Structure 1
């Protein structure tokens, strides 16, 4: 059989590790990260969003600290994990000296000399968060997205002039996204409860943004098990002790707030640049996938050098269609519930070949001697990308093995055509075949997909850092707006360290050369 363009999936035991182990020089101390934040130029540019349109428009006594100090506080809170600890640290003269050095570097010595002798208190921060940051949250997010994308381009990520190979893009040419659930600051879901013994009414603070969220592929059985345990009755087919000790996570259900985050990165430690984020309301139409698709399309429209998107199974056919029509790749796994579908029958002079879709690619139905049949994957020899006036089309150039001579066939993938895009009665919508749902641009059961999809799984490392940055690994604010600021502060701190690492080593000498898994097809494919 001819070699497949994407290669055969490599067993995990035979895969070569492409990352080196971290050493002491890769570590970033808290003092070093404070220095990174204080000298992060984009943070001072972002502060322009907080300036009033007209001087003197705010009545009363002028603020003791300029607005950029509270953005510094926001980013530093993403390092310290709580506003109380951050405010206490800024009372240290040595820490405050680092902040003033960063201000002097970007805004001048005179501006640094005008700052008070210590940093703002927690009370001052809470007032600024409520009156200054939350009302301008939307503008801050928009400005952050533009600055983060510009930072990524400066650091050689998503290069517009880079070499493009659609059948095997590089890691830094893709953006990776995923959703994460930050645990609620409190486990209370009702504003009050009644003690059954004494009748005492106990009041609880409830987070209005938190709800029960699915995490890690939980299904409806998990919700049934949680409800059954609440009723002191075990659910059929489930364990009785699945609840964690603190009660925050039960059968894949987490009480918290969901956020979607997109990033891109180069190999090496602290090389990731977070591009954008968004809060996912629990009652949002389309859920996580709809919010993530809007964020991804906004990045694709601005970043010419971005070749595609890495995402998990939350993206289905309708989402693949949108991104494929923009001329980009969507690399994710095929949904487990997708069943094989008949595509077409190819009639040649002396033979016929019946094509089916399965596992995200085209198969041929082969009849066996015992009267049964099986689906055999057809090798892909080329991934074609064609542009028209308003959209793009993608095709797999297939080789169909045949005893009477191999055949070549071109099959559309990734886009579900609608009436008017094909001859009358021939569009996918009219024939009832959701092509984008069943045929992926890069099938997931291949070596290429296995190599690229690791970039999506790598986003879990960023979420793990976010969880560890929070005090007690729980959200440290109540309400969607304040919690969004927590996420924004963490992303600013991470991007500050990424920018500092790039200034220290702009040639990425700390990164190992990307290598593909060893297989018999690697040399021919690459």
Structure 2
């Protein structure tokens, strides 16, 4: 009920047709890459062959890694004997200028502890307390003797001590620290029994977990996301000044995600069904800008090839390496020639390629490469192109100056079943330049894979690469807001090296306990 002369509290709008908002233009939904590739041709069912069957039982999940306390990780770091060997690569204290206050090994421990405590400020705060500093003194006494331990000060480095040593000593010597750490980490992996020839005979299609490298690149965010040194507040006109990471840039991740930061590449290996057994063996800062803007760093694929090639000189038992689609045929070819099985997912948009024509007696078969494997090409009655994947009986391996790999495929025929061997590594003919196009005649390692991705064996190797994703995720989570607390690619790489030392120290301690039990 309402009072006369006053409008109702909640007046109702007059009845009538509801106003309609103007329709917004929407883009047509994108079709999946696989559907887009196969829209112009038909692709047959994947056969059961040496790469597995659709009825194969997937491998069981690995046991969950137990959590570790902060002080426990710190003890593992201090108990790593390789850490004190790496300290020998650090420049000695200078007789001129500002004194270092502490021996080089203390600053290496400080660098590794940044990933444990989250920042240099927090690390200095912890090492100023006797609870943590006494642990450092005891470890230095154990691994380096009384003479070095007696020279240590009552408390750890201050933030000022660290900043001076980091910028004046560590950063100029980062290449020596990187290379020394890499060689010690490779030896650690070998000491754990990784990258060695298997004790039992096993197929190259299914290498054991410790024989497979996993690699990936990540973009680490700097402390500030600002890209300009100055900005103007549009409302007040105030000029604000910002600190900018001069090395950072915008990179595309995951196909369409733009991220800002510095790009780093890591390569590691781990044991099967063993928690806390991952060993990071090599790290590098890589180029994410044009060659003109950053000529001193290698591109992602080139850096990965250099890393793996160096590891192969130390670990001849290595069988395979997994990576993402950033690795192209030009990068896979030299690693395959070294005897490695290189697995990556297939790029979208690669059209089928003519391979060869097989002729024997009255039989003629056109062989093509489609979806990373050898197929038989036919034209259906309705005019559609159909590719039938051929079963691979065996992935054959031949040693020589350049290692060769073959697919021994079976061609079904009404007259008789044919067997043919197809090279799946780069041949001499592939490298010849076609005078009509100015390009190589056939980019075989780009279109034809040693292990096709859409197979049980391919999915198994693809799962191994998730260890690299886990490594980068753990690295990001070490720091507040997932931002590496330093500016510059060189400083970021040093912090990542410290993270790797912490990770590998945990692996050394935990794997040793497991082996002893």
Q: Which TM-score band applies after superposition, normalised by the shorter structure?
A: 0.7 to 0.9
Provide the rounded CA distance (Å) in 1 between the counterparts of 2:47 and 2:225. 58
2:155 is paired with a residue of what secondary structure?
Answer: coil
Which residue in 1 is equivalent to 2:8?
none
Which residue in 2 is equivalent to 1:17?
60
Q: Structure 1 residue 415 and structure 2 residue 394: aligned?
A: no
Which residue in 2 is equivalent to 1:158?
195
Matches within 5 A, 1:118-197: 118-160=155-197, 162-163=199-200, 165-197=203-235
Q: Which runs of 5+ in 2 are unaligned?
A: 1-45, 292-297
Following TM superposition, by how much is the alpha carbon of 1:100 offset from its aligned partner in structure 2, in angstroms? 1.6
Which residue in 2 is equivalent to 1:258?
263
Equivalent residues of 1:188, 1:205 under 8 A apart: yes
Provide the rounded CA distance (Å) in 1 between the counterparts of 2:96 and 2:414. 86
Q: Deviations over 1:200-241 (max 9, x none)?
A: 2211110111111111112xxxxxxxxxxxxxxxxxxxxxxx
Provide the rounded CA distance (Å) in 1 between the counterparts of 2:439 and 2:244. 50
2:365 is paired with a residue of what secondary structure?
Answer: strand
1:256 is paired with a residue of what secondary structure?
Answer: strand
1:393 to 384, 404, 407: 404
Q: Deviations over 1:371-422 (max 9, x none)?
A: 4341111111111122233x12111111111222211000011324347x89
Provide the rounded CA distance (Å) in 2 between the counterparts of 1:57 and 1:64. 11
Following TM superposition, by how much is the alpha carbon of 1:195 offset from its aligned partner in structure 2, in angstroms? 2.5
1:439 to 440, 448, 472: 448
Following TM superposition, by how much is the alpha carbon of 1:60 offset from its aligned partner in structure 2, in angstroms? 4.9
Which residue in 2 is equivalent to 1:240?
none
Q: Deviations over 1:54-87 (max 9, x none)?
A: xx85325753211000000111111111111111
Provide the rounded CA distance (Å) in 2 between the counterparts of 1:186 and 1:337. 37
Q: Deviations over 1:438-471 (max 9, x none)?
A: 1111111111111111111221111111011012
Q: Which runs of 5+ in 1 are unaligned?
A: 219-251, 510-526
Following TM superposition, by how much is the alpha carbon of 1:21 offset from its aligned partner in structure 2, in angstroms? 3.5
Provide the rounded CA distance (Å) in 2 between the counterparts of 1:352 and 1:429. 30
Which residue in 1 is equivalent to 2:295?
none
Which residue in 1 is equivalent to 2:284?
278
Equivalent residues of 2:280, 2:500 under 8 A apart: yes
Deviates more, 1:121-130 or 1:161-170: 161-170
Equivalent residues of 1:416, 1:429 under 8 A apart: no
Which residue in 2 is equivalent to 1:80?
117
Which residue in 1 is equivalent to 2:511?
502
Q: Deviations over 1:115-161 (max 9, x none)?
A: 11221111111111012211110000010110000000001110146
2:515 is paired with a residue of what secondary structure?
Answer: coil
Provide the rounded CA distance (Å) in 2 between the counterparts of 1:99 and 1:284. 44
TM-score by length of 2: 0.84
1:492 is paired with a residue of what secondary structure?
Answer: helix
Following TM superposition, by how much is the alpha carbon of 1:436 offset from its aligned partner in structure 2, in angstroms? 0.9
2:465 is paired with a residue of what secondary structure?
Answer: helix
Equivalent residues of 1:181, 1:258 under 8 A apart: yes
Equivalent residues of 2:247, 2:488 under 8 A apart: yes
1:314 to 315, 326, 333: 326
Equivalent residues of 1:416, 1:436 under 8 A apart: no
2:250 to 202, 206, 212: 212
Which residue in 2 is equivalent to 1:234?
none
Let me know the Cα RMSD of the aligned residues.
2.5
Q: Structure 1 residue 330 and structure 2 residue 342: aligned?
A: yes
Q: Structure 1 residue 201 and structure 2 residue 210: aligned?
A: no
User: Structure 1 pair 463/430, CA: closer, same or farther in 2 (3 Å)?
Assistant: closer
Q: Deviations over 1:308-349 (max 9, x none)?
A: 211000011111111111111111111112111111111121
Provide the rounded CA distance (Å) in 1 between the counterparts of 2:119 and 2:221. 15
Equivalent residues of 1:171, 1:452 under 8 A apart: no
Provide the rounded CA distance (Å) in 2 between the counterparts of 1:439 and 1:119. 57
Q: Deviations over 1:159-186 (max 9, x none)?
A: 1465553221111101110000111211
Provide the rounded CA distance (Å) in 1 between the counterparts of 2:383 and 2:224. 61
Which residue in 2 is equivalent to 1:454?
463
1:28 to 68, 72, 90: 68
Deviates more, 1:134-143 or 1:475-484: 475-484
1:6 to 51, 73, 85: 51
Provide the rounded CA distance (Å) in 2 between the counterparts of 1:181 and 1:10. 39
Equivalent residues of 1:39, 1:103 under 8 A apart: no
User: Structure 1 pair 494/9, CA: closer, same or farther in 2 (3 Å)?
Assistant: farther
TM-score by length of 1: 0.83
How many pairs are equivalent?
463
